[in-house]
Chains A and B, each alone.
Chain A
Amino acid sequence: MTKDGVQGAGEEEQAQSKKGLKKQQKEAEKAAKKAEKQAKLAEQQTTEEDDFAKDRYGVPPMVQSQQKLDRALVRIQDLTPEMADQLIWLRARIHTSRAKGKQCFLVLRQQQFNIQALVAVGDRASKQMVKFAANINKESIVDVEALVKKVDQKIESCSQQDVELFVERIFVISQAEPRLPLQLDDAVRPDGEGDEDGRATVNQDTKLDNRVIDLRTTTSQAVFRLQSGVCKLFRDTLTTKGFVEIQTPKIISAASEGGANVFTVSYFKTSAYLAQSPQLYKQMCICADFDKVFCVGPVFRAEDSNTHRHLTEFVGLDIEMAFNYHYHEVIESITDTMVQIFKGLRDNFQTEIQTVNRQYPSEPFRFLEPTLRLKYREGLTMLREAGVEMGDEEDLSTPNEKLLGRLVKEKYDTDFYVLDKYPLAVRPFYTMPDPSDSKYSNSYDMFMRGEEILSGAQRIHDASLLTERATHHSIDLEKIKAYIDSFRYGAPPHAGGGIGLERVCMLYLGLHNVRQTSMFPRDPKRLTP
């Protein structure tokens, strides 16, 4: 599987995938032949000599919870030089195996950690046992009893570099099929490296088609551990700030932001929509005196855009908060939350970040505390100084967004900043206009590495102004009657915003495709796995 961009630059994707399939098949055939040969060889060599280590290896019956062994299984990451000369049990996958005469080297893997193990013919292991160990398929799960030994020279290829295991017993708990759709080592190879050595890299679609195996790679393990960290830090920070977590329905009766880009589902005798954002419900909770709420849940967008940063279903981290006098109170609250997340990641997820960087090198994420806040007009001025021609009330295009990100990084050296006071014309109808200049609004976007991650604003909490703005945007008042009505019975001033979890992870790690940070991505062309 060389990179298929070399020949097929102009070809369609389908043809490419066909080619890929063929190649895969060929490779599979090769592998099968090889396996056959090996099997034959093994048979030939297997003499009927007496095997003294018969009980020390094998394939035990399937674990159906017949017995409850009182056996402690050690985690690979705990195997340090302090554990030397202890006899331990562990369960791991066979990452690679390499037989050499009377010895067989295995690399045992457990999540992102791995260790070298050795089966050698001696008074504990027989020839047959070594052969058995060498023939266990990759990715099979084994139970191993082994002696921990210190090594003289560091083992560079493993995460546990100071110790290795001398295997005493080895049992296969779950046998993997001999042929893997993709090799883990190929999947973690940095983009440039494969080309130089003529070694294979795996393209994105193959990875996503075999997501379960791809998720086993160290890179994926690190990405999703970090993602879980983002969620946890988000929840923890907001909870300490006095926020309440809410759960909102995802099946809604009316589209909140125009019907064009929502999914329609049939709902008994009528139809319903999948929520684009919990916007309406967050605001209703504010009107219901919850004061500060947040919500973590799926968000659906039926936009047919196939870009590196759009998904049709993603996890939204939404915040809505009532404030006292100025919506900057809310901006400060949100940016502080983000900074806490960044700090938490910087301090607690350094291993994960470095693991991802090994495959996808990127600069460490930089930020300021308190967060830099620029005005939209300042941003425009910076762009104009750089030679971009833009109207005062024009929205930022994606390239301009990126350019502005670069300019801000150049001057302030931060990858995270807020752009405040957007033109009213480019924001949704419920955005509060700026009191001093009606061309602008009390709305803001937040950017990470020059890409938008959050879009928020002060919302209009006055029913009559809301009606006026809705009419101005020529929205059918009947359809949003319930929404407007919720502000009739006293509503506090409030503001908020929504963040895409996948985007935050992608941009924090400096990855190039949001599918890398979505466990099972959904886009207009992908519904499985």
Chain B
Amino acid sequence: MPMYQVKPINGSEIKIDLPTCMYKLPNVHAQASSCSEHALQNGELDPAVAALELRQDEIMRRLYELKAAVEGLAKTVTTPDADLDVTVTSLSQSPTSTAFRGTSDLDSLLGKDLGALRDVVINASPTRPPLTLLVLHGLLCQRYRVLSTVHVHSSVAAVPPALLSCLGPQHADSYTRQRFQLGFTLIWKDVPKLQMKFSVQNMCPIEGEANVARFLFRLLSPYPSEPALATLIDSWVDTAFLQLAEGSTKERATVLRALNSSLGQEPWLAGPELSLADIACYCCVRQTCSSTPANVQRWLKACDNLGHFSSTLPLLQ
């Protein structure tokens, strides 16, 4: 302690006769001084403080571990040419912890759980299968317990078998609907524009594949809080659906050039991480463009490596 020590002016022990009819309180001064002295002298810590420190250390240690794990994962995921085994990542997530997180997430994202399945209904035309949504469905399935069903609406006469099985095999537990967190109901229907209906009471139907994709992606991960990045992602998504999917050959070529230059600087379209921009552009490029420039080709391959896009492959032919 960097201060002078002064000897007590009085003798340390003064005897006072106290009446016994009163409550006894410990002498504050005497105790404090003796304690600090004791601590100083012996260089020991209060056991309570020690325990606290220990706990904090433990928490820090676990945080560091977690950070390291996440960084490791991020490296493998975001490095475009990393050779990644898909099955390992999907298995590495322990089901209980994700499930728990999922429930709380969905509650905060979609409002209170009312005791029934939250069913996302998507009406899509079989002439234009929504590949982006199928990819997002795959990602949702990794995150939540999703009950996915495919229906054919009476306005459509016949649907190719590939489209009927596009959401994968039926879940073994499909007869117990309450065990699922999220319903994903895809209805092949004669609609001019893809349509999503979720909460009929509070939401109007959402039209357009891009908008539905944005909604679904937000269930997976929050949008970047930085406005510039969020806008960039939105703009890529719009470009994909308006110019790649529906545009003329000329427009497509322009977009491919833009993609190529953007991908020359960053591994993914919106910075260092995979985002909705990549998913949307990937699907539209695969659907419409036959030849692509070098950077785009590398990026396409990187996407393929991730394995999220495998569900779209049977529909691409």
Contacts and interface: CB of A to CB of B under 8 A. Distances in A.
Interface string A358-382: 0000001111111010110110111
B151 interface: yes
Contacts of A378: 116-117, 177
Contact of A370 (B119, B151, B155, B189): B151
Given A378-B117, A378-B177, A369 B197 contact: no
Contacts of A367: 153-154
A100 B116 CA distance: 71
A436 B175 CA distance: 13
Given A367-B154, A375-B178, A381 B115 contact: yes
B116 A366 contact: no
B200 interface: yes
A374 B151 CA distance: 14
Q: Which of B152, B153, B154, B187 has the most chain A CB within a 10 Å cutoff? A: B154
A378 B155 CA distance: 26
B114 A385 contact: yes
A412 B185 contact: yes
Contact of A377 (B116, B119, B199): B116
Contacts of A370: 149, 151
A146 B153 CA distance: 48
B253 interface: no
B178 A413 contact: no
A368 B187 contact: yes
A375 B200 contact: no
A375 B115 CA distance: 11
A384 interface: yes
A15 to B, nearest CB: 46
Contacts of A382: 116, 200
B121 interface: yes
Contacts of B175: 326, 328
Contacts of A369: 151-152, 154
Given A378-B117, A378-B177, A382-B116, A366 B200 contact: no
A342 interface: yes
Interface string B143-173: 0000001011111000000000000000000
A71 interface: no
Contacts of B200: 382, 407, 410-411
Interface residues of B, number: 24
A26 interface: no
B154 A411 contact: no
Contacts of A155: none
Contact of A413 (B114, B176, B187): B187
A22 interface: no
A384 B200 CA distance: 12
B300 to A, nearest CB: 35
A413 B201 contact: no
A368 B201 contact: no
Given A377-B115, A381-B115, A366 B154 contact: yes
A437 to B, nearest CB: 10
Given A381-B114, A381-B115, A365 B154 contact: yes
Contacts of B151: 368-370, 372, 412
Interface string B177-207: 1100000010101000000010111000000
A346 interface: yes
B239 interface: no
Interface string A290-304: 000000000000000
A281 B314 CA distance: 49
B312 interface: no
A386 interface: yes
A342 B154 contact: yes
Contacts of A365: 154
A375 B123 CA distance: 21
A343 B154 CA distance: 8
B156 to A, nearest CB: 9
A407 B201 CA distance: 9
A438 to B, nearest CB: 16
A374 to B, nearest CB: 8
Nearest to A375: B177
B123 A413 contact: yes
Contact of A385 (B121, B176, B197, B201): B201
Interface string B89-127: 000000000000000000000000011110101010000
B153 A375 contact: no
A381 B112 CA distance: 12
Nearest to A381: B116
A413 B119 CA distance: 14
A337 B119 CA distance: 26
Given A328-B175, A370-B149, A407-B200, 20 more contacts: A364-B154, A368-B153, A369-B151, A369-B152, A370-B151, A372-B151, A374-B177, A375-B116, A377-B178, A378-B116, A378-B177, A380-B116, A381-B115, A385-B199, A385-B201, A410-B197, A410-B200, A412-B185, A413-B187, A414-B153
25 contacts: A328-B175, A346-B154, A366-B155, A367-B154, A368-B152, A369-B151, A369-B154, A370-B151, A375-B117, A375-B178, A377-B116, A378-B116, A381-B114, A381-B115, A381-B116, A385-B201, A410-B200, A411-B119, A411-B121, A411-B200, A412-B185, A412-B187, A412-B197, A413-B123, A436-B176
10 closest Cβ pairs, A-B complex: A381-B116, A368-B151, A378-B116, A369-B152, A411-B200, A367-B154, A381-B114, A385-B201, A410-B200, A366-B154
Interface of B: 114-117, 119, 121, 123, 149, 151-155, 175-178, 185, 187, 189, 197, 199-201
